Amino acid sequence: MKEPRHHRRPGRRQAVVHLLNRQQLGESVRLAPQTGVRNSALAGLQVAITTLIALPLIQLSPFSHLIGFASLGTLVALFGRFAPRARRGWIVFLCILCQTGTVFVTSLVAWLGTPFVIQILLLAVMCGLLFCLVNLGEFGPPGALIFVFAASVSMGSVDSFELVLQRTAATGSAAVLAWLICMLTEILRHRDHSGGAAPGALRSASHLGVAATRIVFGAGIAAYAAWGIGASHAGWAAMGAVAVLQGAHLHITMNRALQRTGGNLVGSVLVALLLSFEPSVWTVIVLVAVLAFATEAIIGANYGLGQILVTPMALLMMYLAEPDVAGVAMAQERVIDTLIGAFIGMVLAVQFSTQDDRAFLARHHSNRLDR
């Protein structure tokens, strides 16, 4: 007797059919009700305030060449937005350690003259470790990508150990200021959730291990592929893979791939146009602050919509760190690296999916058809 369709074990080919369905595309562009929008917007405002204080001070100091790393430190204010009041300060403090530690370790590896091919391998391993740390610590949005971004900025070559320490100090100083601003404005936050992560974001230990393994492989393959075609910032491809692979379910993974690709394309065009006018450092600082707030205010409605804003913010931070980098070329590489990372992330997500993953996708697809 032929097995009933709803009892069949869904295979990878069927999963691909579901993921390429036009309804999946529609789901990726749909606006969703935002959860905790006040807390998210406040986190963006805290980053913006830190940016407008820390970056001008760095720019006016003898260490203006470190302004890009100071901008990395401001991002720790994004974490713990859903945590209870007693835990927010602790979560942000742990994120200070993660952000400065990532910059220090990656810069140190570069200073030691480690071949770039080995630096990519270390980056991939760090992606998996940081993903586990973010989930186990319940840091919440925006997840491990902030730390992976810091690692990618720190890769390459470093001339002296003094510069390693300077990078770490600039990142840490801005991060401590962000912590202080978070504590001073803590009273403005809603206390709607009981944990540090957004609702539904927590994973079991077994799922966490499997996801981390996928991320290590995906980040490594994506970064090596980007490096192999001559990309200057192979870490961006790793970020694309991490963003896709950290999705809890296959349909979320596909949504992230589509949203990140589309958002990065539009955002890269915008920042290329902007940098073609050669804006001053002061203009860039203000734009980073505005984009930090705007991104967190809307990204909960649609990840792709948020990427349209977060991409210019990230590239402007890179521009601060490397002002001699051509704006248009940097934007073009961002798109290429994102495509590489998203594609490899999706292939690995399907290839290493479990029977439960594909069954959940089939039920999700069936439920959409029934609506």
Would you kindly state where each structural domain of the chain is located, as residue ranges?
Answer: 35-370
Spatial CA neighbour of 214 closest among 116, 350, 10: 350
Rounded CA-CA distance 261/256 in Å is: 8
Q: What is the pLDDT of residue 203?
A: 58
Rounded CA-CA distance 128/208 in Å is: 10
Rounded CA-CA distance 345/325 in Å is: 28
Which residues make Cβ contacts (< 8 Å) with residue 333, sequence separation at least 6?
Answer: 231, 232, 233, 236
Asked whether the beta carbons of 341 and 239 are under 8 A apart, the reply is yes
**Rounded to two decimals, what is the model's pTM?**
0.90
Spatial CA neighbour of 340 closest among 256, 267, 247, 236: 236
| Backbone dihedral region for residue 233 (phi beyond 0: left; psi -120 to 50: alpha; all else: beta) | beta
Asked whether the beta carbons of 202 and 135 are under 8 A apart, the reply is yes
Rounded CA-CA distance 171/75 in Å is: 10
Alpha-carbon distances, residue 192 vs 22, 182, 195 (angstroms): 35, 17, 9
Asked whether the beta carbons of 220 and 239 are under 8 A apart, the reply is no
Question: Could you list the pLDDT tens digit for every one of the 371 residues in the chain?
Answer: 444 444 567 778 887 887 778 777 788 778 777 777 899 999 999 999 999 999 999 999 999 999 999 999 999 999 999 998 889 999 999 999 999 999 999 999 999 999 999 999 999 999 999 999 999 999 998 999 999 999 999 998 899 999 999 999 999 999 999 999 999 999 998 865 444 444 444 556 667 888 899 999 999 999 999 999 988 889 999 999 999 898 778 888 888 888 888 999 999 999 989 988 889 999 999 999 999 999 999 988 888 889 999 999 999 998 888 776 666 778 888 889 999 999 998 898 888 877 877 887 888 777 665 55
Rounded CA-CA distance 251/241 in Å is: 15
Runs of H (alpha helix) within the chain: 12-19, 22-29, 37-60, 67-74, 85-111, 116-136, 145-154, 161-184, 205-228, 234-245, 250-275, 281-298, 303-321, 327-351, 355-370
Which residues make Cβ contacts (< 8 Å) with residue 331, sequence separation at least 6?
Answer: 268, 269, 271, 272, 275, 315
Backbone angles phi and psi of 238, in degrees to 5: -60, -40
Backbone angles phi and psi of 148, in degrees to 5: -65, -40
Q: What is the pLDDT of residue 327?
A: 66
Q: What is the pLDDT of residue 253?
A: 84
Q: What is the pLDDT of residue 185?
A: 94
Neighbours of 290 (CB within 10 A): 16
Q: What is the pLDDT of residue 8?
A: 60
